[in-house]
């Protein structure tokens, strides 16, 4: 397999992951959470307009479609299938997480250049990464942590935490730079967020690693919807995710 093809696939993975978490990897105190309650289900869809804001104004970048497209079984465990796609770009990502506590079992990303599949073995704390292109498949193994998430599943994982004012915990995320420890903390004061869809009472959730901090504004409603995300890029430049459409889960009898 040519080096250039492998790099193209790695860049595809990095394209999604660095869009949400732009962190350094300094270590900090760990406090994993075991009380996980998914507030979503199959059929839910969240569509975001992603904007760049800097001294020259506000610029629309992408439209991101996040959805829960179904369930499947992996190694005897029932899993949600999470799907993420930048509309108009040739990259689609899938995350497979258990329906009871969102344990990440598989990540799959595909583009016209090929695909990347990550399989997580939580008994051995290992992850097998397989890169496939027209020239074949190459695999390697790396260490992971029990509470590992990827850049897509992390969004759903954060929603599923027992959020309240003053709460905090940590989890580990697989990124293009390896495993990074993320600290989740909730500010002690609720925020009213104004977007095109209306006004929402939200928890202000900080995601920290090293010296960087992103803000996620998640509704206090039972759906725990992230309505806005703020990512500082440096030099008074920010990336904003604004929810522009929400489709609730399919109702079951």
Please state, as a whole number, how many other Cβ atoms lie within 10 Å of the Cβ of residue 248.
Answer: 12
Lowest mean pLDDT among 59-68, 83-92, 124-133, 201-210: 83-92
Q: Count Cβ neighbours within 10 Å for each residue of 226-236 and write b for 16 or more, e otherwise.
A: bbbbebeeeee
| Higher-scoring residue by pLDDT: 252, 144 | 144
pLDDT band at 251 (very low <50, low <70, confident <90, very high): confident
Instruction: Quickly state the pLDDT bin for 20 (edges 50, 70, 90).
Output: low
Chain mean pLDDT for the chain: 87
Question: Containing H/E element for 157?
Answer: helix 153-159
Of the pLDDT bands very low, low, confident and very high (cuts 50, 70, 90), residue 19 is very low
Closest among 169, 172, 187, 181 to 212, alpha carbons compared: 181
In whole angstroms, what is the distance from residue 144 CA to residue 122 CA? Answer: 8
Distances (CA, A) of 73 to 172, 227, 233: 24, 30, 38
Name the token pair of 197: 């869809």
Q: Give pLDDT tens digits for 234-250.
A: 888 988 999 999 999 98
Angle at alpha carbon of residue 215, lines to 244 and 142, rounded to 5° = 100
pLDDT tens digit sequence for 122-178: 999 999 999 888 888 888 898 998 899 999 999 999 999 999 999 999 999 987 777
- pTM value is 0.90
The mean pLDDT of 50-76, rounded to a whole number, is: 93
Instruction: Report the distance separating Cα 80 and Cα 41, nearest Å.
Output: 8
Say how far apart CA 215 and CA 204 lie, in whole Å.
7
């Amino acid at each position: 397999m040519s080096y250039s093809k492998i790099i193209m696939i790695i860049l595809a993975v990095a394209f999604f992951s660095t869009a949400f978490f732009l962190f350094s990897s300094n270590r900090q105190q760990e406090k994993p959470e075991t009380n996980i309650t998914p507030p979503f289900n199959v059929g839910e869809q969240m569509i975001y307009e992603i904007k760049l804001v800097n001294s020259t104004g506000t610029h629309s970048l992408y439209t991101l479609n996040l959805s829960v497209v179904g369930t499947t079984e992996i190694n005897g465990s029932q899993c949600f299938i999470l799907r993420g796609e930048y509309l108009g770009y040739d990259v689609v990502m899938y995350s497979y997480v258990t329906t009871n506590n969102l344990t990440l079992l598989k990540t799959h990303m595909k583009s016209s250049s090929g695909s990347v599949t990550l399989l997580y073995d939580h008994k051995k704390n290992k992850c097998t990464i397989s890169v496939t292109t027209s020239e074949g498949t190459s695999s390697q193994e790396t260490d992971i942590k029990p509470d590992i998430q990827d850049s897509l599943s992390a969004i759903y994982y954060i929603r599923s935490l027992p959020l309240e004012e003053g709460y905090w915990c940590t989890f580990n995320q697989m990124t293009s730079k390896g495993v990074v420890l993320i600290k989740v903390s909730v500010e002690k004061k609720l925020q009213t967020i104004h977007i095109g869809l209306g006004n929402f009472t939200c928890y202000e959730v900080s995601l920290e690693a090293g010296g960087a901090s992103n803000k996620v504004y998640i509704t206090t409603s039972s759906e725990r919807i992230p309505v806005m995300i703020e990512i500082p890029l440096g030099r008074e430049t920010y990336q904003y995710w604004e929810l522009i459409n929400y489709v609730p889960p399919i109702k079951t009898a």
